Amino acid sequence: MSEALDRFGRLVMETLRDRAFETADMILSGDSKAPSLATLQAGLARLDDGERELARRLVRIVLDSAIHDFLFALHELHEADRPILLLADGEDVAASSDGLHGEAFGDTGWQSRFSRYGRAPDEA
């Protein structure tokens, strides 16, 4: 795996995945100070612990799916010779991977190596 690809993966995990999960947790716990979120937080405050955990799982599944779909779209454009070039350290990250959309997953994927939230649990 290339260093440039890892650099891109770390960016996606830390600034997209982790920050989104942190934001969701802050809102679900009622700790956000943003006035625009007051109504949402009030509604979520009525949920019991189990319901809040379901909401957390939903956020994680939806976000990980969106990351996968975005990376897959970049991969497909690269394969169709219509790339949107994403360069890290001057290297095309899509060209550095045989399947950009799979880089985030698995025991050695970006989630496991770069995200504070670790690998997504297998959902049944």
Res 113 pLDDT > 80: yes
Q: Give 47-82 pLDDT, tens digit per residue.
A: 999 999 999 999 999 999 999 999 999 999 998 988
Print burial letters for 110-119: b (CB count within 10 Å at least 16), e (below 16): bbebbbebeb
Residue 85 DSSP class = -
Q: CA–CA separation, 6 vs 1, rounded Å?
A: 7
Please tell me whether the overall predicted TM-score, pTM, comes out greater than 0.75 for this model: yes
Question: Please, are residues 104 and 98 in contact by the beta-carbon 8 Å criterion?
Answer: no
Helical (H) or strand (E) element with 9: helix 3-11
Q: Give 22-37 pLDDT, tens digit per residue.
A: 999 999 999 999 999 9
Domain boundaries, the chain: 3-114
